[in-house]
Amino acid sequence: MKRIVILAPYPFEEAPSQRFRFEQYLSYFEKNNWNWKLESFWNMHSWKILYKPGMNFQKTIGLLSGFLRRFFLLFKLSGVDVVFIHREASPIGPPIFEWLIVKILRKKIIYDFDDAIWKPNVSVTNSFVNKLKWYGKVKHICKWATVVSCGSNYLCEYAKQFNNDVRLIPTTIDTDYHLPNKKTENKIPVIGWTGSHSTTYYLNFLIPVFKKLEQQIEFELRIISNKDLQLPLKSYRYIHWNKETEIADLQSFDIGIMPLPEDDWSKGKCGFKLLQYMAVGVPSIASPVGVNTDIIINNETGWIANSENEWFEKLSYLLKNIEERKSVIDKASSHIEKQYSVNAMKEKYLLMLNQVAEKN
């Protein structure tokens, strides 16, 4: 059995970024002679309070314990074939651990990221961390990596400035888990959005649209997140994200939305909201930013909306037209299966692991 150690920010099965980038491949790796171990920087207790306001002392303790775990991990990497680093080994400071792993321990690393993490973008809740961030570390880790794995072409183009072996592995969906459901239509149509509360500012752009829609059409705005957003809308309904009910909650949407602003950070997003919606049979609307225009073929697998007026017109039309919503479901599901599923990418992922291990 070959061995891979995964350095990631969060505990196993707790963060969408990790689930859709690599965690859903781990059982397949096991079946193909890879023994894996995930080493998170934040332990479960620290992760649970990380995005809560205040609690800076407890967060600092969690930060220090994370650094200690990373330090002691260095002594456990003997015999490891590949070190897989998702985003960064530590959330603040220079890439000391990455440098030690590559330059001192002589380990081969795969460096994986799914956001424009070289750009400042810190949660308001933890804005104090911004002063300790080291955004320039990304280019250095790219240089030291044996292979860089990125979730979109935009991210690949950045990484190619520093590494000759950059591979596009899109963020993918497990279509054996995310299944369509031929459900009875909701009496009141549901517009849905899912995501962590730290990314809900993307919804602010649509607040005026929802208010205008509320004056003309009865609908529900259903938000799945890890924290109640308390949006100032009469149509708003919050559902706490739950692993056990995740698929059923997504299937309850009649329209899935993914609004994004046109900025460098958004261009690096990998579209996993859309992947989830489309895989479970929910017709979707998205902003034409980054990979969204690859995932959605306009008017075939979903719809693209740019301006506030376009969002209003398309949402208004689709809320009133069930058959139009249904018209894209089959094509969307097929598109995801062929281009953005675990089944479509698992051999490419496994090949990357084996090729890096062979270079030891």
CATH of residue 325: 3.40.50.2000
Say yes or no: 198 and 305 in one domain: yes
pLDDT in tens, 179-238: 777 666 788 999 999 987 767 778 888 999 999 999 999 999 999 988 888 888 999 999
- Residue 61 domain-assigned? yes
Q: Please tell me the distance from the alpha carbon of residue 21 to that of residue 41, in angstroms, as a whole number.
A: 17
Report how far residue 223's alpha carbon sits from residue 253's, in angstroms, rounded to the nearest whole number: 10
pLDDT average, residue stretch 291-298: 88
% of the chain at pLDDT higher than 90: 60
Kindly state whether residues 136 and 267 are assigned to the same domain: no
Domain of residue 285, residue span: 190-339
Residues 118 and 201 in one domain: no
Q: Does residue 81 form part of some domain?
A: yes
| Number of domains forming the structure of the chain | 2
Residues 151 and 226 in one domain: no
Residues 332 and 353 in one domain: no
349 and 296 co-located in one domain: no
The pLDDT tens digits for 77-98 are 999 999 999 999 999 999 999 9
Does 321 reside within a domain?
A: yes
- Pairing relationship of beta strands 255-258 and 284-286 according to DSSP bridges: parallel
> Looking at the structure, do residues 63 and 207 belong to the same domain, yes or no?
no
Please indicate, yes or no, whether residues 156 and 197 belong to a single structural domain of this protein.
Answer: no
Residues 77 and 212 in one domain: no
> Which neighbouring-strand residues pair with 34?
2
Mean pLDDT of the chain: 89
Evaluate whether 34 touches 353 at the Cβ level (below 8 Å). yes
Alpha-carbon torsion 87, 92, 94, 100, what sign? negative
Q: Which class for 309: exposed (0-12), middle (13-18), buried (19 or more C-beta within 10 A)?
A: exposed
Global pTM value: 0.86
Alpha-carbon separation of residue 42 from 5, 89, 198, 322 (angstroms): 16, 11, 17, 44
